[in-house]
Structures are given as C-alpha cells and as structure tokens.
A and B are shown apart, each in its own frame.
Chain A
Amino acid sequence: MSMNGNSPAQHIVVAIVEDKPGVLQRVAGLFRRRGFNIESLAVGHSESEGLSRITLVVDGASAPVEQVVKQLYKLIDVVKVSDLTDEAMVSRELVLMKIRCTGENRHEIIEIANLFRANIVDIATSSLILQITGDQEKIDALLDLCKPYGIRELTRTGTVSMVRGNRTTTVKEIESDEITKVHQSQGRRVSDSQELPFSSD
C-alpha cells in the first residue's frame, strides 16, 4: 500500500471531459480496446458547467499509465487528463454494506462500525446497513472484519480523488491572453464568453 492507501500498481487518473452523450462509452470503449484494466470508475459533474469529471483507478500492470493518459487525450471530448498517483491527494470511496446480524451480535458490529467511524444508516430485524467513507485501505480492513458476520449486499461508488493544497488539476478557468491569441490565429477558438452550440445534446 502506498501513502494514498492504494496498491503500487494502481494509478489514479482523473479525466475532465465534455458533458455530452456517449463520453462514458468513449472512455470505457478505449479501455476495453487497448486492454487497460479499470479497477474502479466514478463519474459526475465538475465545478464547471458542461464539464464532467471521471476518476479512474487503473491497473498499472495492464498498461503503462503514460499510454493510458495519451490515449485518453486523443479522445476529442476529453479536455484534460492527470495522473494523480504520485501527488499528495485525498482519495475517498463511499461504501454501503448490508450485514447479517442477530440480537446477540448487533452490538459487536456497531462497535466495529464506531471504531471505523462508519455510520449505521438502516437497521432491521436480521440485518443492518453500514455506510463508510474512506480510502481503500480502510474500507478493505472493515470488510475483512465484517465478513465473518455475513455481507449480504455490497455497493461501492469507486474512488474519487483530489490533490491537496492550493493547486488544482482541473481545466484552468482563465486562459492567458497569449494562448488565446495563438488559438484564435489558428482558428481553433472562439472568445471565452461565446457559448457553444454543441452538436449532440
């Protein structure tokens, strides 16, 4: 396990993508075709309208991560890709698990949950739902402890990550005038204020 709670072969890659239909299929299709293994994938809106953020945990043993990043960049709808693996970052995943319990052992499970700062979000006669947020290491440890009671159902959101500190890995909101000029001279850009009529929404 690395300092980020992920095994060394795992890489965390964040892709900022256009929020358009089919984007997820393009990313997933790329991974399938090139034989890159995905451990987890989480997708949702980003801070900017029109951009989504995909966090991928990639099995680095299946492909050099440099190739993964470059191939992602080739997708027109992918705006920015960052490999966060060697960054100081916060990584979290949310897990819900339904655990079998009896009147006798319920307290024992609650005690374990407390130790892990997991929440009991539902309780029934013979089972309860635990909600835990954390990095992979913490989640794996809790899972190991709960296994003997019987995990009836499990769902994981996949890891999401963000670099620590003032730096961001998202698309820069303000572009320098110089870069804008270059793009404009090559006919690649409209002014920042202009809205884009995208084709497929």
Chain B
Amino acid sequence: MVKMNGSQILLECLKREGTTTVFGYPGGAVLPLYDAIPEFPEIHHVLVRHEQSAAHMADGFARATGEVGVCLATSGPGATNLVTGIATSFLDSTPMVAITGNVARTLLGKDGFQEADSTGITQPITKHNYLVMRAEDIAMTVREAFHIASSGRPGPVHIDIPKDVLQEEVEFIWPEKINLRGYKPNTKGHTGMIRRAAEAISTAKKPLIISGHGIKWGNAQAELVALAEKANIPVITTFLGIGGFPETHQLSYGWLGMHGMYHANMAADEADVVIGIGMRFDDRAMGRFSDFNPDATIVHIDIDPAEIGKNLPTAIPVVGDVKQVLPEITEIIPTGDNKPWLSWIEKVAEEHPSLEVRETRRLIPQYIIRSLYEETNGQATITTGVGQHQMWAGQHYFYNDPRQLISSGGLGTMGFELPAAIGAQIAKPDAEIWAICGDAGFQMTLQELAVCIDERAPVKIAIMNNAYLGMVRQWQELFYDDNYVSVAVTQPDFSKIAEAYGIKAIKVETKADVLPAIAEAREFDGPVLIDFHVDQEENVWPMVPAGAALRETIEIPEKELIR
C-alpha cells in the first residue's frame, strides 16, 4: 500500500497522463502542491507572471501539439485570473486541464481569505469541472478530466482542490478504467447519413467544403485533402480552420467570413451544396444567418451533435469524428472535375483580388506579414492577438499545417499572442514561432517577456504598432462617422521595455528596414522584439459589416487604394 498526500497523488497522476509541462503561479492554497513539485522531475513547472497567461500558455501548448495543456493557480484571485484563459480555450475547443487550489474544506463557503466559488465561476466556461473534496478522489478526477478534455469535442476541464485535501494522506490507487455513463462521444457517423451526404455531394453542381478547427483536433488533414481531391471540390476554411486544408493546394480558395476573401464569401453564397466539416457555422464566418445562401443544401459533419442546426437549418447532419467519417464519404463518391464551378470561383477571384499587397510608400502591416511569409518560406508557426493584425496574419501568411496558426478566434482575447507563443515554443523548442501582436493587446500580457528569458524561449515578437486600437478605430471610422473615442493610445517605447527584460529589440519605421529586421531576428539565437511603426489608419479589407450577408462583402474603397 502506497500512502501519498493529495499533492503527490495529483502530480503522480499528471505524470501518468503524460504531462511534461505545467504553467502556473504559486499562492497560499497551492503551497502543498508546490512543495511536492521537486519530487517530480518529469514535470517542468513554468512560472508565469500572471495567471491569465498560464492558461494561454497551456492553450498555445495544446494547439501546437494536440496534447492536453495544463495550468495551475491558487485560490481566489489566482482562479479568477485564469478565467479569461479558460473561456478562450472553451470557445476554441482546446484540450486543457486547469487546476486551482481552494481554501481548506472547513473554510469553504465562509468567505475566508482568498476564497472564491471557483467551480461556480468556471461552470459555464468549461466542458466540465470538479470540486474535489477527498484526497482519494483526486486520481479518478484527474483521469476523468484528461479523458473529457481530450476526447469528443475537446475543451477545458477545471479541477478545484481545497488546501487540506492536497495535504491529506491516503492510499494511492491508479484507476485503470473510467466510467462516465453521461459521456460517450459518438465518433462513428451514421451510415445512412453518410450515404445521404455522399449522394448530395455527388449530385451537386457547385459543391463547396467549408472546413474548420475540427480538422486540427481530429488530425484529419489528409482525409480532408483526399475527399476534396477525389471529386475536385473547392475548399474554403473558417478563420480557425486556416491550415486545416493546405493553403497552397490548388483546391484551396482561402477563408470566408467578416474579413475573408471576397471570392470565398461569394462561393459560399453561390454553392448548391455546402459541406461544413468540423466547424460550427459561427456568425463571424457566415454573416447574417437568415441570408446565408438560402438555396444551398447544408451537409454538416461535426462531432458535437449540439452544433447541428444550432445556427442554420441542416439538411444532412453527420455526427462523428471527421477522421472516421471523411474516408467513408470519399470511398463512395464518384470522381468529378467541377470545372465550370472552379472557373467561376477563379474568375471572381481574378476580378476581385483580396490578397494583393498594395505598392505603398508607407509601411503597411500587410507588407510586413507577406514579407515574413516569404522570408520564413511559410514554415513558421504564427500566434496572434485579436484585431486588425490578426486578420492580416490570417490573410497574408499562407498556412499548410493545421497547427501553424494559433489564434483566439472564438472569444477574441487580446493579449493571447505572447503567452500562446511561449507555450507553443516550450512544446516545440525547435520550431520557429512568431507572435504577431497589436500594440494594444501586447500591453495586456507583456509581463510574460520575463518568461521568454526564464525559459530561453526564442519567440520572435512582431508588433504592428499603429498607436491605435486598430480594429475599434476602423469600426468607428466606418460605422460611427469617424468619431474616434478612446482608441488613440499613448505608447511606451517597446524597444526599451524589451531591453529592460533583457530581450533584443529592433525598431522599424520604413519599408526598407523590414527585410533586414526579419533576417536579423531570425538569425539571433533568442527572443527578439520588433516594433514595426506602421501606417496608422490602414483598414482591413474585404469586410462584411456586422449583421450583413456574405454577398454584401465590401472591397477596399477607391480612396484607400491610392495611398
């Protein structure tokens, strides 16, 4: 019989679940746990500078590898600081286990020092959560948490453990099996529905695949490519689906939505059969739901049955794992060429180019990101924050791998980029990771620069510094009559901030300096921050105004072309 305390059991279970890295921040309620960490050299603890970043790093780690990311915080403020990161993970379905301490059992509910109802708070933003009241329950809870987080549609699971449970000594029993009678994700698609889906695809004149984040979580890029190639079906993706289908593939037609490509939006509006794969018909992608291509037959393949018919009426639902379902469809559909349909899309793309980087005197972010794409041969992993720079990073870098673009698409969390990049870098020490930041979002988590030094994480940071909350400013310009309110931000000298943390910094103010700066950053063995002073009022185009239909996509206006 092996007696261990709750902390040792927790760490032993993490180890057995394959956890190598935990991103966390200590505090009173988790002191017993930190006390035990040195006993587990297999688990590397990364000390963050704010708990929100611990969750984002775990998230970045998970997105870069597909493994469960683990973060750790103390009770009360530690737990509430995790909340933004957990919600980010929830909306983008990333596998994460978040562990928090809480006050001792006798103090629960007594409003003790640093007590918060953590599970009450995280309940609507987690796939599941636990308040563990006995040390003997820790092992089963961790087993269940990892299973729930990583299976079906992945998501964050929160485990809250009172301090005295972490100290309690009990016998350690590793549960070999899990029994969750209320959780049995369906991975095998319904045969009849698969046949109907194949029939719809076979008889379609203008079929269109819209693939999403599910391709990444289902590891189904090869299966998606095989399906598209067999019947020559054009593929567009959602924003989070970027890279799920190789963007340099001849059947790739970019991504759709509010800032998607004009031709992708028009194709979605023109298709007669829309095949949604591992995506959820989100409002940012589909535009006004009531006007989304009302004539199209919608085939929806997803592992989460609740996504079927949630936003759009679905004619043919297939609930299952894309990796299993797609080959079954591919097998029964006949080959096809879809020539007229493909030339229709190509003609639209030719007449309405969305991705041309304009020749400008001024330094525009599109030019920087396209240069980065060319300099890195499209091989870098890119993380982004939220706003204009995020959209440009999606548009002007081309991704062939589903794990290459790491971005907060669902929740839209500013400040995600730097911690996510650090998490990804720790997961893949040899990968080239670029955090593309906005100047405003960067200031939300810039304290994590210290972690780049601690962990020797050679993250390259590119700030698109326009001294504005760019996307908000764009909306105020376009939809609020140029009434700029609280969008112009006083900037610190980012180079000096980087240098204060011991990080190499480069300031770039002209186009001529872009390529040398990127080259210098890539050559340097260590983290580098490049502060790009970009044109202040550049807008993101094309654009589907909020609440408009995809067919109402607006292209870059004449007056902005000539700058």
Instruction: Report B234 CB to chain A, min CB distance, Å.
Output: 30
- Cβ of A77 within 8 Å of any chain B Cβ, yes or no, is yes
**Structural contact, B182 and A75, CB atoms closer than 8 A:** yes
User: Given A199-B141, A199-B144, A200-B137 in contact, is the A77-B130 Cβ separation under 8 Å?
Assistant: no
Evaluate whether A76 and B128 lie within 8 angstroms (CB atoms) in the complex, with A25-B120, A189-B177 already known.
Answer: yes
Asked whether A194 is an interface residue with its Cβ less than 8 Å from the other chain, the reply is: yes
Stretch of A54-62, A63-71, A134-142 that contacts chain B: A63-71
Q: Does B512 contact A (CB under 8 A)?
A: no
A interface footprint on B135-170 (CB within 8 Å = 1, 0 otherwise):
011101100100110000000000000000000000
- Contact B179 A77, beta carbon cutoff 8 Å: no
- A187 contacts B137, C-beta separation under 8 Å: no
Q: Which of B273-281, B303-311, B470-478 faces chain A? A: B303-311
A67 x B128 contact (CB < 8 A): no
Chain A residue nearest to B319 in the complex (CB): A70
- In the complex, whether B133 has a CB less than 8 A from a CB of chain A is yes
The residue from A30, A70, A77, A197 contacting B137, defined by CB atoms under 8 A apart: A197
Q: CB-defined interface of B180-219 with A at 8 Å, one 1/0 digit per residue?
A: 1111100000000000000000000000000000000000
For residue B132, CB closer than 8 A to chain A, the reply is yes
Please give the number of chain B residues whose Cβ is less than 8 angstroms from any Cβ of chain A in the complex: 34
Any chain A CB within 8 A of the CB of B124? yes
Choose among A67, A70, A188, A201 the residue that contacts B179 (Cβ–Cβ < 8 A): A188
Instruction: Say if the beta carbon of B119 comes within 8 Å of chain A.
Output: yes
CB pair A76–B127 under 8 Å, yes or no, is yes
Q: Are B304 and A74 touching (Cβ within 8 A)?
A: yes
- Contact, CB under 8 Å: B123 / A188: no
Say yes or no for B178: interface residue by CB 8 A criterion: yes
A75–B175 Cα distance when bound, in Å, is 23
Q: A22-B131, A201-B133 are in contact. Are A76 and B148 (CB under 8 A)?
A: yes
Chain B residues numbered 95-140 whose CB sits less than 8 Å from any CB in chain A: 119-120, 123-124, 127-128, 130-134, 136-138, 140
> Does A183 interact with chain B (Cβ within 8 Å)?
yes
Chain A residues, CB < 8 A from B127? 76
Chain A: CB-nearest residue to B160: A200
Mask of A177-201 contacts with B, CB within 8 angstroms, 1/0? 0000001100111100010111111
B179 lies within 8 A of A190 (CB)? yes
A73 within 8 A of B: yes
B residues in contact with A106, CB < 8 Å: none
- Specify the chain B residue showing the minimal Cβ separation from A78: B182
User: Are B306 and A70 within 8 A (Cβ)?
Assistant: yes
Known: A66-B309, A199-B144. A25 touches B130 (CB 8 A): no
User: Within the assembled complex, what's the spacing in Å between the Cα atoms of A176 and B97?
Assistant: 33
Q: Is A26 close to B, CB under 8 A?
A: yes
Nearest CB on B from A201, distance (A): 7
Q: Which residue of B lies closest to A79 (CB)?
A: B182
Q: Sample 22 A-B pairs with CB under 8 A, ordered by A number.
A: A17-B182, A18-B181, A21-B131, A29-B123, A66-B309, A70-B305, A71-B306, A73-B306, A74-B304, A75-B128, A76-B183, A171-B181, A184-B177, A188-B178, A188-B180, A189-B179, A190-B177, A199-B133, A199-B134, A199-B137, A200-B130, A200-B132
User: Nearest 7 CB-CB pairs, A to B?
Assistant: A70-B306, A199-B137, A199-B141, A79-B182, A76-B128, A190-B179, A190-B177
